[in-house]
Structure 1
Amino acid sequence: MSVVTKSPFLGGRLTLLQPEKGHRAGTDAVLLAASAAPKPGETLFDLGAGVGAAGLAVAIRAPECRIRLVEIVAEIEELADANIRENGLGAHVAAMRADVTAPLLQEGPMQPSGADYVIMNPPFHLEGTVRAPPSAYRGTAHIHGPEGDEAWIRCAHALLRSKGTLTIIHRADALPRLLAALDRRFGDIRIKPVLPRMDEPAGRILLRAVKDSRAPLVLLPPLVLHGADGAFTPEAQALHRGEGLIDWRNGG
């Protein structure tokens, strides 16, 4: 692993230990955290949690919930655990090392049908479509194994109770394969495009889906990150400070 840095995140509400080089927490983690609003007593799993940025951002907003950070790379899972301690969140947050593409166990923290929320930022690229980065961790974070998004969504489906909620942030061009993997597993699918600027196509999508729902798909108004001057829009700026949530209502 490269040198580890300590830096403020979410407007200074969190402190994150993370590798100086390679995959680092940023806007994707901010938006993913803002997409989930668990109620007191509920359980949320952050799959592919990395150093824990998204799950920890939910944890400081929902201190009466159980948050589980799931990461496959041992050194990064150890940093997630360190970040839990660094931010004093050990009472309701735990990190664990697990492969989300493997079958769930009937006992233990990742048993089927035990979660109310799953959030995830899966690898954006399919194996063989991009050159592997020099960092092994960055490669794991950015490039899928042979089963791709299907395996991650299958894991989320198994973890969630009926009517539990899954939220994903992904590249916009992944939408067809995400919808295919969600089919017959999830409904009430709500898609929020994330635009760099108002006059540019979406680079990301936020997608929320409900297990066992039959409600129809809804395409919501976009979230625009930057104004014409290049600065964050007021909405994006508030989200980066940890203030406010993604609006999943029909009116956007």
Structure 2
Amino acid sequence: MNPATTSVFLGGRLQLAQPAKGHRAGTDAALLAACPSPTADDTVYDLGAGVGPAGLAVALRFPGCRVRLVEIDRAIAALARANVETNGLAARVDVLEADVTARLAKGGPLEPASAGHVIMNPPFHLAGTVRPPPDAYRSGAHIHGEEGDEAWIRCAHGLLRPKGMLALIHRADALPRLLAALDRRFGDIRVKPVLPRVDEPAVRILIRAQRESRAPFILLPPLVLHQADGSFTPEAEALHRGEGSVDWQA
């Protein structure tokens, strides 16, 4: 069994128990947590939440909202529940064990049309395109099943109320298939490339989209993570501390 270790996240504002080996919380979760801006009465779903870094960060930054962490792995969901308790967020954060690729159904753990925001960090690779990691949790976190991103986006669409917002982070090379999956379900699709340094190609993309919107697609200026000396840019540093939000303005 993969032992758990405790580490800090969001500039020390969160304590996280997570597997000592395999998938670990880092920059992707910090950036994803900075994407939504829920109101006090909003419910936020974090799909494929893992041990909960992104969803817990949202709950911490927006104390009026309710967050539901969705995770399929039972052992990882148990760590997420421990993290909810450790960080004093049990009154507003639930952990649900569910498969986001399954069709939504009445009476199931995931409530259709109940969310103002959905955030997600889906597996980055399609089955058969990379060698699976030996660790089962890391493999599930990095490699899709048969339906891939389409199923995750379909789930997010079903969970959101009309005009609700989806935010996700993914590899830059996944953009064509993500746009295809978002088409006809979402509008006002905004893409922000994430560059390691100002003169390097994007390695990640952040996407925000609104259910039932007819607003046009927008490609935004990039978010640059590192300065020439390797340190974080001021914007990236603030996002890692949970002290800022992703700029979605055109």
TM-score range, shorter chain: over 0.9
Aligned to 2:141: 141
Equivalents in 1 of 2:184, 2:105: separation in Å? Answer: 23
Aligned to 2:166: 166
Equivalents in 1 of 2:51, 2:64: separation in Å? Answer: 21
Aligned to 2:47: 47
Deviation of 1:93 (Å): 0.3
Equivalents in 1 of 2:99, 2:110: separation in Å? Answer: 11
* TM-score, normalisation: structure 1: 0.98
* TM-score, normalisation: structure 2: 0.99
SS where residue 235 of structure 1 aligns? helix
Aligned to 1:193: 193
Aligned length: 250
Deviation of 1:11 (Å): 0.5
Aligned to 1:70: 70
**Structure 2 counterparts to residues 57-206 of structure 1, below 5 A:** 57-206=57-206
Q: Structure 2 counterpart of 1:84, which letter?
A: V
Equivalents in 1 of 2:94, 2:39: separation in Å? Answer: 18
Aligned to 1:236: 236
- Backbone CA RMSD of aligned residues: 0.7
SS where residue 197 of structure 1 aligns? coil
Q: Which runs of 5+ in 1 are unaligned?
A: none
Deviation of 1:109 (Å): 4.3
Structure 1 runs (4+) greater than 3 angstroms displaced: none
SS where residue 96 of structure 1 aligns? strand
Contact 2:114/2:161 (<8 A) preserved: yes
Aligned to 2:218: 218
Equivalents in 1 of 2:107, 2:4: separation in Å? Answer: 34
Q: Structure 2 counterpart of 1:122, which letter?
A: P
Equivalents in 1 of 2:9, 2:2: separation in Å? Answer: 20
Equivalents in 2 of 1:20, 1:58: separation in Å? Answer: 24
Aligned to 1:245: 245
Equivalents in 1 of 2:73, 2:192: separation in Å? Answer: 30
| Alpha-carbon displacement from aligned partner over 1:155-204 (angstroms, at most 9, x marks no partner) | 00000011000001000000000000001000000000000000000000
SS where residue 158 of structure 1 aligns? helix
Aligned to 1:19: 19
Deviation of 1:107 (Å): 2.3
Equivalents in 1 of 2:135, 2:122: separation in Å? Answer: 17
SS where residue 225 of structure 2 aligns? strand
Deviation of 1:120 (Å): 0.2
CA, structure 1 residues 50+144, in 2 after alignment: closer, same or farther (shift >3 Å)?
same
Contact 2:98/2:109 (<8 A) preserved: no
